[in-house]
Chains A and B, each alone.
Chain A
Amino acid sequence: GENVEQHPSTLSVQEGDSAVIKCTYSDSASNYFPWYKQELGKRPQLIIDIRSNVGEKKDQRIAVTLNKTAKHFSLHITETQPEDSAVYFCAASSDQGAQKLVFGQGTRLTINP
């Protein structure tokens, strides 16, 4: 089955700098890759997603890149702000077979003022 590895587990950056979180997946059939943000004590919320026929997708200060050959994808946050502090999860799924999301272990991002 699918296995998703996420790094780093914790990340601390200065306000205004960029943050990058990386994930690798094992199943070459995976074709959907969402990212979720979970603030303390709250539910995970979808912030951006990408499908396998696209190499990059941007939404204001966040972007996701996908390298299908290497089977890895990354979340990029630019001009970080204190409200970006949260735990971020990547996930992978295929629209064939089981069609279930498999999550990475999460990255705790802290933005230092």
Chain B
Amino acid sequence: DGGITQSPKYLFRKEGQNVTLSCEQNLNHDAMYWYRQDPGQGLRLIYYSQIVNDFQKGDIAEGYSVSREKKESFPLTVTSAQKNPTAFYLCASSPGTGGVFRLAAFFGQGTRLTVV
């Protein structure tokens, strides 16, 4: 069954702790993305990667880090430097090849992070 899997679905973090959100895809997509969604807000880009071992900062990268060691995996670490981490985090992937429609993003089911 092809798709994007995020885990865990719910995550609770104590203040001052780092946490890592998992994102795995078996769609053979080249590009992967992390978005943050706050209540009633749009999707803001945190980091994106267009190829293995390479990634770029999005609009709100401060307090976050990523790695792209494998094509299938793009984990996001929320560090203690992120002052307001409570949000819904969405991972997405896109084909990366095949004309302009390669930019179409397919989303995982999301991880809801709450700081306690």
Contact = CB atoms under 8 A, between A and B. Distances in A.
B64 interface: no
Interface of A: 6, 31-32, 34, 36, 42-46, 49, 51-52, 89, 91, 93, 95, 98-106
Nearest to A49: B104
Contacts of B45: 100-102
Interface stretch (B14-22, B70-78, B105-113): B105-113
A44 B33 CA distance: 14
B106 A46 contact: yes
Interface size class of B (residues with CB under 8 A): 20 to 34
A32 B40 CA distance: 25
B87 to A, nearest CB: 14
A91 B44 CA distance: 11
A100 B106 contact: no
